[in-house]
Amino acid sequence: MKKKIFFGILGITILLASFVALSHFTKKDDVSKTNKLNVFVLSKSSSRVVVQDSNNLIYTFNNNDLDFDVGSQIVISYTGVLSNTSSLQKASIVSFSTVPVSEDYESIPEYSSDNGIFSQFYKLAKQKIDTLSLDDKIAQLLLVRYPGDNYIDELSKYNFGGFVFYENDFKDKSENDVKTMIGNLQKRARIPYLTAVDEEGGKVVRASSNPKLISSKFKSSKELYNSGGLSAIKEDTINKSDFLNNLGINLNLAPVVDVTTNSSDYMYDRSLGENTAATAEYAKTVIEASKKTHVSYTLKHFPGYGNNTDTHYNSSVDNRTYESIVRNDLPPFEAGIDALAENILVSHNIVKSMDANNPASLSPSVHNLLRGSLDYSGIITTDDLDMGAVSSIPNKTVKAILAGNDLIMVTNYKESFDEIKKAVNDGTISEEQINKLSLRILAWKYYKGMMFDIQK
């Protein structure tokens, strides 16, 4: 009898725990009353209105002849329940009021008062943004694949957020050659560049692929973990950071925190190859170790790659349930966020349980999960928009901005820059939205200690 009672109580406890865990990922409102929400208007058409709240959650409503401008700050009154995961809200906007814009030079707009990881630097970033042209602010949103030393004069015409370097950029170069390459870029920068690599270790190495720079390539996380556990991971992160920092690199697009234990999966060789709990500890260890260095690290590929195929050439569809992804794939990202991760890279997989129509990188629902349920306030970066999975999507750069990304990784920088500027000029995106995103990028650069040498 006692045994039956025990298992009965245990069963009820598990059910309640499951309910609480899943309810963590849904926003609740009182259906019967009118609720209010302070929002920023991202975009508007004759049929739809897209807004973003102070926590950077994006909501799409039906447009019931609402008369406000893209880029305005408003308070909406709505009836119904808001959902972080719906592509179109069932809730309806019944009225709105405009929020007065402060003329105070040092004031931070309400839409940027998120109390996030970089918030103490928002005021400095705002002061800097007020001195920049629209072109400069647009360029800050682009993380550009470095096209080579022959393009340095053309690149200096822009004011890009930063550059990504690949294996060929380091090939046959000496340490001094690499320092000169990156140093020449930074000397021409009006705002210091993010300088990034995918130095994962194992199959994916960029700078350490060159024996002139280091005696051997960095090992994979799997090899390190199997031989020395988390202590080896921590030591490797610090050594890797010192190596990269010495060359002038300040951002590593690693670690891969996708959970995969099947050796036939595409991402297996690049992952830890362990279960969810072990991968979460790995994510936490890397981010905590990186805080002792001058290099920022990037959790990827949100919301988890699973057993999906390579998106460098074609699109890949993730058919797993929402509950499965929440349970198995999100904990490593949560652990990294708790350790104050600064950057998260979103994949191009189509995650059907979250958004059947858009790749994750272009999906507001996926970004809402990251901003809302995981309470992430750092930088969100796309995977390269010139990868095969998304390269043919029209207006993909604008869609990436409207989905909730801060930093857009691109190869064809001129096309992406022109696409954003056209969208601002025709009212698809407001300049205020560009200000909002560039504010977070610049606040990150202040947080990293990159900006103080240019203060007047």
Q: Which residue has the higher pLDDT, 64 or 145?
A: 145
Same domain, 194 and 71: no
Q: Give pTM, 2 decimals.
A: 0.88
Domain-located, residue 11: no
Report whether pLDDT(370) > 80: yes
Residues 372-397 pLDDT 10s: 999 999 999 999 999 988 999 999 99
- As a whole number, mean pLDDT of residues 392-414 equals 97
Contact between 439 and 125 (Cβ < 8 Å): yes
Same domain, 240 and 299: yes
| Per-residue pLDDT, 109 | 64
User: Which residue, of 47, 76, 98, is where some domain finishes?
Assistant: 98
| Per-residue pLDDT, 100 | 73
Contacts of residues 42-48 at CB distance under 8 Å and 24 or more positions apart, as own/partner, are 42/70, 42/402, 42/429, 42/433, 43/70, 43/402, 43/428, 43/429, 44/68, 44/69, 44/70, 48/88
Identify the CATH number of the domain in which residue 352 sits.
Answer: 3.20.20.300
Strand, coil or helix: what is 182? helix
Domain-located, residue 2: no
| Per-residue pLDDT, 102 | 56
- Say how many domains are in the chain: 2
Same domain, 89 and 146: no
User: Which residue, of 43, 73, 98, is where some domain finishes?
Assistant: 98
Same domain, 94 and 123: no
Residues 261-293 pLDDT 10s: 989 888 999 999 999 999 999 999 999 999 999
* Residue carrying the six token digits 């030591």: 235
Give the CA angle between residues 126, 155, 174 to the nearest 5°. 110
Domain-located, residue 180: yes
Same domain, 75 and 118: no
| Per-residue pLDDT, 187 | 94
3 CB-near residues (< 8 Å, 6+ apart)? none
14 CB-near residues (< 8 Å, 6+ apart)? none
Same domain, 323 and 289: yes
Respond yes or no on whether the N-terminal peptide bond of residue 301 is cis (omega within 30° of 0).
yes
217 CB-near residues (< 8 Å, 6+ apart)? 201, 202, 205, 208, 209
Q: What does DSSP say about strands 92-98 and 408-410: parallel, antiparallel, or unpaired? A: unpaired
- As a whole number, mean pLDDT of residues 342-364 equals 96
Strand, coil or helix: what is 407? strand
- As a whole number, mean pLDDT of residues 409-420 equals 98
| Per-residue pLDDT, 285 | 99
User: Which residue, of 98, 120, 144, is where some domain finishes?
Assistant: 98
Same domain, 129 and 87: no
- As a whole number, mean pLDDT of residues 45-58 equals 90
Contact between 63 and 44 (Cβ < 8 Å): yes
Domain-located, residue 29: no
Domain-located, residue 73: yes
Q: State how far the Cα of 389 lies from the Cα of 316, in Å rounded to an integer.
A: 7
Identify the CATH number of the domain in which residue 65 sits.
Answer: 2.40.50
Domain-located, residue 104: no
Same domain, 129 and 65: no
Name the percent of the chain lying above pLDDT 70.
87
Report whether pLDDT(110) > 90: no
Same domain, 375 and 260: yes
Domain-located, residue 60: yes
Residues 418-447 pLDDT 10s: 999 999 999 999 999 999 999 999 999 999
Report whether pLDDT(343) > 50: yes
Report whether pLDDT(12) > 50: no
Report whether pLDDT(54) > 90: no
Same domain, 74 and 159: no
Same domain, 365 and 412: yes
Report whether pLDDT(37) > 50: yes
Q: State how far the Cα of 439 lies from the Cα of 112, in Å rounded to an integer.
A: 8
| Per-residue pLDDT, 108 | 67
Q: What does DSSP say about strands 194-197 and 162-165: parallel, antiparallel, or unpaired? A: parallel
Same domain, 64 and 192: no
Give the CA angle between residues 445, 451, 456 to the nearest 5°. 145
Residues 291-316 pLDDT 10s: 999 999 999 999 998 766 555 656 78
23-27, 34-38, 341-345: least confident range: 23-27
Contact between 136 and 403 (Cβ < 8 Å): no
Torsions phi, psi of 429, nearest 5? Answer: -120, 140
100 CB-near residues (< 8 Å, 6+ apart)? none
| Per-residue pLDDT, 2 | 44
- As a whole number, mean pLDDT of residues 112-133 equals 89
Confidence of residue 113 (pLDDT cuts 50, 70, 90): low
Domain-located, residue 4: no
Contact between 52 and 74 (Cβ < 8 Å): no
- What is the domain extent for residue 189? 110-454
Q: State how far the Cα of 231 lies from the Cα of 212, in Å rounded to an integer.
A: 27
